[in-house]
Amino acid sequence: MGLKLRIIIPLMLLGTLIVVLFWLIFNKPQLQQENVESKLEVTTVKPSGSPVAEISFQIHGSDQVRGAVESDYNFAVPVALYFDGGNSSDPDGDELSYSWKLNDIPVGSTARFKPSTNFRNFFFADLEGTYVVSLTVSDGNLTNEKTVILTTYTATPELDVTFNSTASSTDQKENNLARNEEVELPNIDEGGLGFDTSLALKSFNENCSICHKSTGLGDPGNFPPLVEHAANLFNIEGGREYLILVPLYGLQGPIDVLGENYNAWMARRKMVSDDKIALALNHVVTSWGNLDRLDGFLPYSPEEVAKLRGQGLTPIEVHLLRQKLELP
């Protein structure tokens, strides 16, 4: 009996050991797989937070960055506004996309953002009232929106420019519409226009025709026609001087020309001489049938242009002066 026990017990232990070994062998890959899967699942979990939208902006012609204090959101129009969402951030460092929107504008305003996903954008505030601007940033999954409210008002600056009435050609010469008796306007030869028409055409082609075209018809939707409109301006009070101010200082703001709306920005012709500006204007107001539309004509002179060159106006201020004119 003792001999049998001594034989059976070791055999039972050996059998148990073999069973355990087989279990470990056949279940080890599964344990390893579960461990790997568990480990991979943990490493793919990533903390994620919502991006934060921020807005700052600048007014055209100013280096001041606005958006920090309440007074930044109150200013005069018309004016171009340049917006920047570059300070927006994402806690995970994800790349952001940007969507700008005007949620509200004054009645009659033509303000629009340029379609873009860039962090910079702009629009032209043309009327007084309230503009509600929003910026939505997205990291591809989460979004965040920032809204600012701009309150604008119309302020006519005190400009050292006086508009004078335009009379007949004889009265123009006698009253000297250059507004300074020391200015000598050119004499008009009998049967002539009093200026060199070939040089006037050359100056117009060099400085004006790329936008307004050699026909004076302009570019519909972009640059207004000079046909008829230039004559209408020349005939009204202040129109003669206004026509000088436009090439001298440029023009920025929405305008209505013969029933069509335009809102392009005309750059000033700072480097063009007084003589060439006078010549180009003489061509404009006497070409394409405009001469027949004038109530009277006295040609522009370089001295007349020079007297207005020192005003230091901005394109927006020229636009404000245009609003004072009583256009037909």
- 60 closest CA partner among 319, 326, 321: 319
Over residues 167-179, the mean pLDDT reads 39
Contact 79, 125 (CB under 8 A): yes
pLDDT in tens, 264-275: 778 788 889 999
SS3 203: helix
Confidence check: pLDDT of 324 > 80: yes
- CATH class held by domain 169-324: mainly alpha
pLDDT in tens, 82-102: 899 999 999 999 999 999 999
Q: What is the pTM of this model?
A: 0.51
The domains of the chain are located at: 56-154, 169-324
- CATH class held by domain 56-154: mainly beta
Contact 186, 169 (CB under 8 A): no
Phi-psi region of 213 (alpha: psi -120 to 50; beta: other; left: phi over 0): left
Over residues 271-300, the mean pLDDT reads 93
Q: Are strands 143-154 and 129-138 parallel, antiparallel or unpaired?
A: antiparallel
C-alpha of 32 from chain center:
62
Do 169-324 and 56-154 have the same topology in CATH?
A: no
pLDDT in tens, 184-235: 444 443 336 889 999 999 999 999 988 899 999 998 888 899 999 999 999 9
